[in-house]
Amino acid sequence: MTLDKEKLAELWNKFKVEGDQNAKNDLTLHYIYLVKTIVRRMMPKYNAFNEYDDLVNSGVLGLISAIDRFDMDRNIMFETYATNRIRGEILDYMRAQDWASPALRRRISTVTKAYEELESSEQRFVSEHEVATKLKMSVDHVRDAINQSHIFNVVSFENTLSDSGAMIDLAAPAEEIPENAYLEAELKSRLIASINDLSERDRQIVTMYYYEGFMLKDIAEVLGITEGRVSQLHSRIIFKMRKALVDSDD
């Protein structure tokens, strides 16, 4: 459902001023694309973790909450505000699943270490087959570990951001939580520092994924490697940034 700016403004007014629930439903249908986009970008290999519909449904709850709580008088785009709430709802759902068993975490660590050792010795990208051969593991198991490591590190990174003060309440007026501006500025500074410490290739991946909105498959085409490999590299980048943020707290 696509609406022009004039129609959107009319719907927002009907819902916020008149309490029209039909207008709220129309807004939800219009902005559902945000949920689907976020799910695809966060979990490109969602079938390895949860059904697509489950993740979308949890994201829709965040979207509905965003529509309910959005203040039209504040100088912030709804899409920006809603994205935070949608991501938060999806991540809360994922955290509740407690999916990463100790055995899975060991396998993720083993595969990640194998990639690092091979690339260090070969000075190039290495394939899933090469890693599988080194570990005497099936290619399917290597791929599964890569997909799961993406999920594991995304959730862990978001937890670190939360612990660092990133999950501030954007719905509350700034004057009610005066430390919001300071926390956000401090976190951004630390994130920028962690990005600057990355290699040129890793910074390129961060730029394409977070700033230019590339999907992992698009990054794979640019770099000339598999989507699974990009997922693994992205996971490693998140791990490095998470470690940098944790170390800066010490």
Residues 78 and 156 in one domain: no
User: pTM of this prediction?
Assistant: 0.65
The half-sphere exposure of 190 on its side-chain side, counting CA atoms within 13 A, is 21
Residues 193, 248: Cα–Cα separation, whole Å: 10
Nearest one of 59, 64, 78 to 25, comparing CA atoms: 64
CA distance 100 to 98: 6
| d(C-alpha 165, C-alpha 179), whole Å | 10
164 and 87 in a common domain: no
Give the pLDDT of residue 187: 65
Which amino acid is present at 246?
V
Both 111 and 230 in one domain: the answer is yes
Of the candidates 97, 131, 161, which is a domain's last residue? Answer: 97
Same domain, 69 and 91: yes
Axis-axis angle for helices 52-69, 78-97 (nearest 10): 140
Same structural domain for residues 172 and 224?
Answer: yes
Among 61, 76, 97, the domain-final residue is: 97
* Domain end point (choices 69, 97, 125): 97
The C-alpha torsion from 202 through 207 and 210 to 215, rounded to 10°, is -80
Q: What is the pLDDT of residue 44?
A: 58
- Please check whether residues 90 and 136 belong to one and the same domain: no
Do 200 and 108 belong together in one domain? yes
Tens-level pLDDT at each residue, the chain (250 residues): 667 888 989 999 999 999 999 999 999 999 999 998 888 777 655 444 556 788 899 999 999 999 999 998 888 889 988 988 898 898 888 777 766 677 877 888 898 888 888 888 988 878 889 999 999 999 888 887 877 776 666 776 666 665 554 444 433 444 444 455 555 666 667 777 888 888 888 889 888 887 777 888 889 999 888 887 788 788 778 877 877 776 666 5
Length of the chain: 250
End-to-end Cα separation, the chain, in angstroms: 48
Which pLDDT does position 175 carry in this prediction?
A: 42
| pLDDT at residue 15 in the model | 94
> Structural domain tally of the chain?
2
User: Which pLDDT score, from 0 to 100, does residue 180 have?
Assistant: 52
With CA atoms as reference, report the closest residue to 232 among 82, 135, 124, 114. Answer: 114
Contact between 58 and 42 under an 8 Å Cβ cutoff? The reply is no
Are 119 and 237 part of one and the same domain? yes
Residue 163, pLDDT score: 55
The answer to whether residues 75 and 161 belong to one domain is no
> What confidence score (pLDDT) does residue 166 get?
45
Residues 92, 45: one domain?
A: yes
Here the CATH number for the domain that contains residue 148 is 1.20.140.160
Measured in degrees and rounded to the nearest 5, phi and psi for residue 99 equal -85, -20
Give the pLDDT confidence score for residue 46 in this predicted structure: 45
Residue type, 19: G
Q: What is the CATH number of the domain that holds 20?
A: 1.10.1740.10
Asked if 92 and 137 sit in the same domain, the reply is no
pLDDT at 174: 41
Q: Which two tokens stand for residue 190?
A: 């630390």
For residue 158, give its domain range.
102-249
Q: Report d(CA 144, CA 149) in Å as an integer.
A: 8
| CA distances for 247 relative to 100, 157, 242, 243, angstroms | 24, 13, 9, 6
10 and 58, same domain (yes or no)? yes
